[in-house]
Amino acid sequence: MPLSEDIADVRDFNRFYTRQIGLLDEGLLSTPFSLSQARLIYEIATRESPAAVDVARFLGMDQGLLSRMLTGLEAQGIVTRAPSDRDQRRAVLRLTQQGSEVFARLDAAAADAVAAWLAPLPPADRQRLVAAMRELRRLLTARRTPPVLRPPAVGDLAWVTHRQAVLYASEYGFDWTYEALVAGIVSDFVTRFEADRERCWIAEQDGAIVGSVFVVSQSESVAKLRLLYVEPSARGQGLGAELVGRAVGFAADAGYRDITLWTNSVLVAARRLYEAAGFRLVGEEPHHSFGCDLVGQTWNKRLAD
């Protein structure tokens, strides 16, 4: 897509979202405070003895304007200013008792306005909206929380099936028959699940699923690693190695002698993870599957003698 189209889409979204936020602001402005005053009170309340210059910088506010706003709030008995103990040139801001009560009312009003804004949405859409907001913030600030590995929840396995099919189609050209393979593996995992000998880990980051791996029982002594994948947005953080390591560690603790896996030679990044984890290639064979000519590979790692 040309940059000009991206710019137009961003501007269009900005106008739309500004209108939406305006509805929230109207609910907040039913209080006697302007939006700017409310934001200033919020920053003072949620920071530990902030300096006026730091608050002005965070809010993107001219220091002269900030000083005039503070003077007004001081006159109302809401804010106090005093020189910092560490630097007499810096004014430290604090809320008075009355100011803390004002903040509590403002905070409740803002929460009520957001609740009313979200209430018409079905729970699933509300979750998608909040997740999209988190992702937007992450992309614009380059901030992300570390991925968390957890057991699967309701709906996760269907999502993993969907994402693996979509990713392998876009990255390797696999057709829709690959989705049937993944769905079968997931179905077998659920219907034949052995709690002491099998596991699935879902990787979650900032509220979104970004990867998974399964360990299933192939025999009494051999575990099988299956369906390892990492979303493009989560790559480069060591998540793939963490998923493989978790699978190998579990298989060893469960008493398996070996852990094996089957993959295809085109999955270069995954093969590097397996090699780094101590797997060795024990066999390969060309085949035609998922609409592609492929070379299937079997890898194995000895866990115990």
Q: What is the pLDDT of residues 105-140, one digit of tens each?
A: 888 888 887 888 888 889 888 888 888 888 787 777
All domains in the chain, ordered by first residue: 3-120 (1.10.10.10), 148-302 (3.40.630.30)
Mean pLDDT score, 73-89: 80
pLDDT at 65 (0 to 100) = 84
CB 234 within 8 A of CB 210: yes
**What single letter denotes the amino acid at residue 295?**
V
State the Cα–Cα distance between residues 238 and 230, nearest whole angstrom: 10
Percentage of the chain lying above the pLDDT 90 cut: 51
Give 168's pLDDT tier (boundaries 50, 70, 90): very high
pLDDT at 1 (0 to 100) = 53
Question: At a CB cut-off of 8 Å and minimum separation 6, what does 301 contact?
Answer: 248, 258, 259, 260, 277, 278, 279, 280
Q: What is the value of pTM for the model shown?
A: 0.62
More confident of the two residues 184 and 111: 184
Mean pLDDT score, 254-272: 96
Question: At a CB cut-off of 8 Å and minimum separation 6, what does 100 contact?
Answer: 45
State the Cα–Cα distance between residues 230 and 213, nearest whole angstrom: 9
* Per-residue pLDDT at 99 exceeds 90: no
Between the alpha carbon of residue 170 and those of residues 9, 56, 174, 175, 231, the distances in Å are: 24, 46, 8, 9, 12
Mean pLDDT, the chain, rounded, equals 88
Q: State the DSSP code for 110.
A: H
Sheet architecture: strand order including 199-205 = 148-150, 199-205, 208-217, 222-230, 258-264, 292-302, 280-289
State the Cα–Cα distance between residues 12 and 73, nearest whole angstrom: 36
